[in-house]
Amino acid sequence: AKQQGKNQFQLYAPEMNEAALDQLVLTNDLHHALRRHELVLYYQPQVDLQTGQIVGLEALVRWQHPERGLLSPGQFIPLAEETGQIHAISQWVLHTACTHNYAWQQAGLPPVRVAVNLSAQQFQNHDLPRLIQRTLLETGLPPQHLEVEITETIAIANPEKAIAILQQLRQMGVQTALDDFGTGYSSLSILQQFPLHQLKIDRAFIRHLAPGTKEAALVRAIVNLGHGLGLTLVAEGVETVEQQTFLQAIGCNAMQGYLFSQPVSAAAIPDLLQATLAR
């Protein structure tokens, strides 16, 4: 900690490490980021493995920092969660994603779901369904074209509250997905208790996916389990044709990953949607 008294002038106390100082500066910058329109949404397509059509777009936030360049969510979302700035950021993400998707539909592009990532803090807030309801009304997006992604960590932090919120969202017609499936410790009880439409199989299982591997057995089991529960399955982080072929063979519904497309700016989406329309 900084020393008081005669050392007060010492702004950069040696014991205040560089990383902590850096976080402090970034927190202050983040405070202005929304007002200065420095946050941007990228979108990564989810592609139906049978038809090749884009069925969803996951909204992934980036921060166009004036000095540091394009920052990935890992560089500022955890910080925003600590400081509470995550609420304003999440609301901006939700509103912007709904606005973009509404505009794409109005332009006559094939309708797709837009998926937003929810943060644990948003589940502390009982008003979340109302906030989402209001955003849908303001932007005009039909509820079935919005999907929320939650992680197992969020789900188990306060299961009763999370279930209640997801039930309200489902009643409104909003789709719900469990993100990073298989990386937590309570996956199976979550599937039993939570109102979900979609499971996203974590990249950790897809990365080493090849016929005959343990990952192949696991992914096949997850797909069968999910289908048995009436869920659709999306494989995350698909990078190779081999992975795609295997997923097709076992009946996985959709894929998301660099093989089809990296996350791209909103400006690039109309062409991508148009291209699958022409198929």
Judged by CB under 6 A, the chain residues 3 through 42 that form the site for ligand C2E are none
Nearest to 236 by CA among 245, 225, 247: 247
Instruction: Determine which residue in the list 80, 149, 197, 232 makes contact with Ca ion, applying CB under 5 A.
Output: 149
| Chain position carrying tokens 């719900």 | 176
Half-sphere exposure of 19 (CA within 13 A, CB side): 2
Kindly indicate which of the ranges 27-35, 69-77, 161-169, 209-217 contains the residues binding ligand C2E, using the contact rule CB under 6 A: 69-77
Q: Compute the least distance from the CB of residue 62 to ligand C2E, in Å.
A: 7
CA 55/CA 32 separation, integer angstroms: 35
Q: What is the DSSP string of 69-101?
A: EEE-GGGTHHHHHHHTTHHHHHHHHHHHHHHHH
Judged by CB under 6 A, the chain residues 127 through 166 that form the site for ligand C2E are none
Pairing of strands 39-48, 264-265: antiparallel
152 binds Ca ion (CB under 5 A): no
Pairing of strands 39-48, 254-256: antiparallel
Instruction: Determine which residue in the list 85, 99, 117, 253 makes contact with Ca ion, applying CB under 5 A.
Output: 117
Number of residues forming the site for ligand C2E (CB under 6 A): 19
Structure tokens belonging to residue 185: 């410790």
Nearer to ligand C2E, 75 or 133 (CB): 75
117 binds ligand C2E (CB under 6 A): yes
| Chain position carrying tokens 């148009």 | 274
Judged by CB under 6 A, the chain residues 189 through 248 that form the site for ligand C2E are 237-239
Nearer to Ca ion, 149 or 152 (CB): 149
Report the interface residues with ligand C2E, using CB under 6 A. 44, 60-61, 72-74, 77, 90, 93, 117, 119, 179-180, 237-239, 257-258, 263
